[in-house]
Amino acid sequence: MSAIRGAWRRVRQNRVIAISGGILIGVVLVAVIGPLVSPHDYLQTDFSNILHSPSFTGMHLFGTDDLGRDLFVRTLLGVQVTIIVALVASTVSLVFGVLYGAVAGFAGGRVDAVMMRFVDTLYALPFIFFVILLMVAFERNFFLIFVAIGAVNWLDMARIVRGQTLSLREREFVQAAQLTGVSFTRIIFRHIAPNVIGVVVVYLTLTIPQAILVESFLSFLGLGIQEPQTSLGALVDAGVNQMEGASWMLLIPAALLALILMCFNFIGDALRDVFDSRRSR
Amino acid sequence: MLRYALLRLLGAIPTLLLVIVLAFLMVHAAPGGPFDDERVLPPDIEANIAKAYQLDEPLAQQFLTYMAGLLRGDLGPSYRYRDHTVSELIGSAFPLSLKLGAMAMLFAVVMGVGVGTIAALRQNSLLDRIVMAFAMTGISIPVFVIAPVLVLLFAVQLHWLPAGWSGSEGAARFLLPAISLALPQIAYIARLTRASMIDVLASDFVRTARAQGLGTQAIVRYHALKPAMLPVLSYMGPAIAAILTGSVVVEEIFGIPGLGQFFVRGALNRDYTLVLGIVIFYATLVVLLNLIVDILYSVIDPRIRRR
């Protein structure tokens, strides 16, 4: 317990985490509140105000797009969608990776060898192409996007959890549980999973930016979030088409996307330093 | 050595089979066929189309037919580009993508290793910190954000370089796409090189070389560079995959008629055979390139082979 408390203290004292975390919380707050206070909504088109540059007149803080829709509201909606997709997709990869890794590590022996060989095989593949294939073959819906993005990112998690489980398996409390006849599933859920949480949280912060990346990549290509819904990737795509006359359409969502990704990466990097004692020494 | 290479080659076969089966099943398990669009066709015409593309046969039979074709290098007809086979389309589009990817890879390795080495030699200096901050930023920003911003800056605003593919000639039109593709990889390789170079420079044999009076330049060139490159070499596999992926968006942004553009068009048009063929082609390419990297690794570092 004191080890966790010590780590938590180091997390709170870490300046990189504080600044990046503060920026992220700020962005999320603005993304949630902004659309509520703006006089516009994300669907409303205004053909007398097409490609209006950012200004306070008419309250188009981020300008308007080629259909006269207010980009302030659309961009903030895009931030919301991007972050929600990333969180849900990361949870999918978390659940899948933790279960797979725990089962492989706990079973050990030949089962472990086969399961990890499968992970190694998948590692060698350009996964994103399979995600695209999936998006082509099936109707594009939110659920599929979550699953597809989650499917990309579970490999690292599975490997890390397996390593942890291998060492947990030898510990007395797990062996005691086995001896008293606790079932395999119950050991995985009650004894293994709670004990790998710490490492998992650290890697989750690195999974979230990867999920954001995949989602915005798909949306940029027109294979992810569909109109009139939007995400930062879709907004960047729209911005590319209008960049010669209306550079704000590209630059604002591009900068926001980069900012969010950077904050998550900085936090993940710093957390890894805090929790990985080998590195911090 | 040859034995090792052959063993690795055999090991790649199950991977490739898995790829093909997965990709094939994904496409064929899709609800609805490739030809049911907005237009409703009379049932007998639909049956004729299905027959022409052998879609009326059982799935196992279709798979065997596809595999037989695959072994002869035939990926079937494209569903949308009439009169073209998928193999023809890949053959015509791939050389351009290969040129672009190779150029990006060259930039990534040369600049990444160079920048990383310089940062390692001046560890914790201001220069080092600036370089590493830039590297972290570079890793975070996706290719499809870097590319249009570079176009906006260097083509639209400054008019130094051409913005698009058509309407320009020569090597200049490769420059912006290749740099956009390479930037995140430069950042990543710089971080890798810096970390491993710092380790190597602290090792005993470097100290011995220094004690013998060798200058820093000579130490890096003749002693430190090779061992410090090993982590970079093992990153080549993921780097290749990242450049292939990035190539898809870069070709889309610059309007380069390469394989990535065909892939996106195919995906948006539901050209199943084309997308399936390109996925299999890309996966094979990545697996083979990974294999070459592994073999190269064992040539440079003989310790690997003894395991």
Structure confidence at residue A259 (pLDDT): 93
Contact check, Cβ <8 Å, A133/B276: yes
Shortest Cα distance, chain A CAs vs residue B188, angstroms: 13
Q: Is A201 on the interface with B (CB under 8 A)?
A: no
Domain boundaries, chain A: 3-44+54-279
Structure confidence at residue B183 (pLDDT): 93
What are the pLDDT digits (tens) for B226-271? 888 888 888 888 888 889 889 988 998 888 889 998 888 888 877 8
Residue of A129, A212, A244 to mutate for B, most B C-beta atoms under 10 A = A129
* pLDDT for B169 beyond 90: no
Structure confidence at residue B307 (pLDDT): 47
Give the DSSP H/E element, type plus range, for residue B14. helix B2-28
Give contacts of B136 with chain A, Cβ < 8 Å: 262, 265-266, 269
Confidence of residue A1 (pLDDT cuts 50, 70, 90): very low
A238-242, B72-76, B278-282, range with greatest mean pLDDT? B278-282
Contact check, Cβ <8 Å, A136/B144: no
Structure confidence at residue A279 (pLDDT): 43
DSSP-derived letter for residue B156 is I
3-state class (DSSP) for residue B260: helix
CB A272 within 8 A of CB A199: no
CA gap B154, B55 in Å, rounded: 49
Confidence of residue B37 (pLDDT cuts 50, 70, 90): low
What are the pLDDT digits (tens) for A9-62? 777 788 888 899 999 999 999 888 888 877 777 777 777 777 777 776 767 778
Structure confidence at residue A269 (pLDDT): 81
Q: Which B residues, 80 through 119, put their C-beta within 8 Å of a C-beta on chain A? A: none
Task: For B115-128, give one letter per residue: b (16+ CB within 10 A) or e.
Answer: bbbbbbbeeeeeeb
What is the ipTM, given to two decimal places? Answer: 0.80
Q: Which residue of B has its CA nearest to A266?
A: B136
- If DSSP states are collapsed to H, E and C, what string results for chain A? CHHHHHHHHHHHHCHHHHHHHHHHHHHHHHHHHHHHHCCCCCCCCCCCCCCCCCECHHHECCCECCCCCEHHHHHHHHHHHHHHHHHHHHHHHHHHHHHHHHHHHHHCHHHHHHHHHHHHHHHCCCHHHHHHHHHHHCCCCHHHHHHHHHHHHHHHHHHHHHHHHHHHCCCHHHHHHHHCCCCHHHHHHHHHHHHHHHHHHHHHHHHHHHHHHHHHHHHHCCCCCCCCCCCHHHHHHHHHHCCCCCHHHHHHHHHHHHHHHHHHHHHHHHHHHHHCHHHHC
Structure confidence at residue B111 (pLDDT): 94
Residue A43 tokens read as 């669907």
CA gap B28, B43 in Å, rounded: 20
Structure confidence at residue A272 (pLDDT): 77
Confidence of residue B109 (pLDDT cuts 50, 70, 90): very high
* pLDDT for A281 beyond 50: no
DSSP-derived letter for residue B219 is I
Confidence of residue A3 (pLDDT cuts 50, 70, 90): low
Residue A202 tokens read as 């650290």
A22-31, A103-112, A232-241, B272-281, range with greatest mean pLDDT? A22-31
Cis-peptide, bond into residue B34, ω within 30° of zero: no
Quickly list H helices, B53-141.
Answer: 59-71, 86-121, 126-140
Identify which of B27, B142, B283 has the shortest CB distance to residue A125: B283
Structure confidence at residue A22 (pLDDT): 92
Confidence of residue B97 (pLDDT cuts 50, 70, 90): very high
Shortest Cα distance, chain A CAs vs residue B17, angstroms: 11
Structure confidence at residue A278 (pLDDT): 46
Q: Which A residues, 118 through 157, put their C-beta within 8 Å of a C-beta on chain B? A: 121, 124-126, 128-130, 132-139
A3-44+54-279 has which fold?
MetI-like fold (1.10.3720)
Identify which of A124, A221, A243 has the shortest CB distance to residue B290: A124
Confidence of residue A280 (pLDDT cuts 50, 70, 90): very low
Contact check, Cβ <8 Å, A125/B287: yes
Strand partners, B77: B85
Confidence of residue B115 (pLDDT cuts 50, 70, 90): very high
CA gap A144, A134 in Å, rounded: 8
User: Mean pLDDT in chain B?
Assistant: 83
What are the pLDDT digits (tens) for B180-225? 999 999 999 999 999 899 988 888 888 888 898 888 888 888 888 8
CA gap A160, A169 in Å, rounded: 14
Contact check, Cβ <8 Å, A130/B23: yes
Give the DSSP H/E element, type plus range, for residue B305. helix B303-306
Nearest to A54 by CA among A43, A65, A40: A65
Contact check, Cβ <8 Å, A244/B156: yes
Which of A246 and B260 is assigned the larger pLDDT? B260
CA gap A98, A200 in Å, rounded: 8
Contact check, Cβ <8 Å, A133/B26: yes
What are the pLDDT digits (tens) for A178-193? 889 888 888 888 888 7
Q: How many helices and strands, by DSSP H and E, does chain B display? A: 14, 0
Structure confidence at residue B237 (pLDDT): 82
Shortest Cα distance, chain A CAs vs residue B44, angstroms: 25
Q: Which residue of B has its CA nearest to A251?
A: B149
Q: Which B residues, 253 through 282, put their C-beta within 8 Å of a C-beta on chain A? A: 253, 263-264, 266-268, 270, 272, 275-276, 278-279, 282
Give contacts of A86 with chain B, Cβ < 8 Å: none
Residue of A19, A123, A130, A133 to mutate for B, most B C-beta atoms under 10 A = A133
Shortest Cα distance, chain B CAs vs residue A178, angstroms: 35
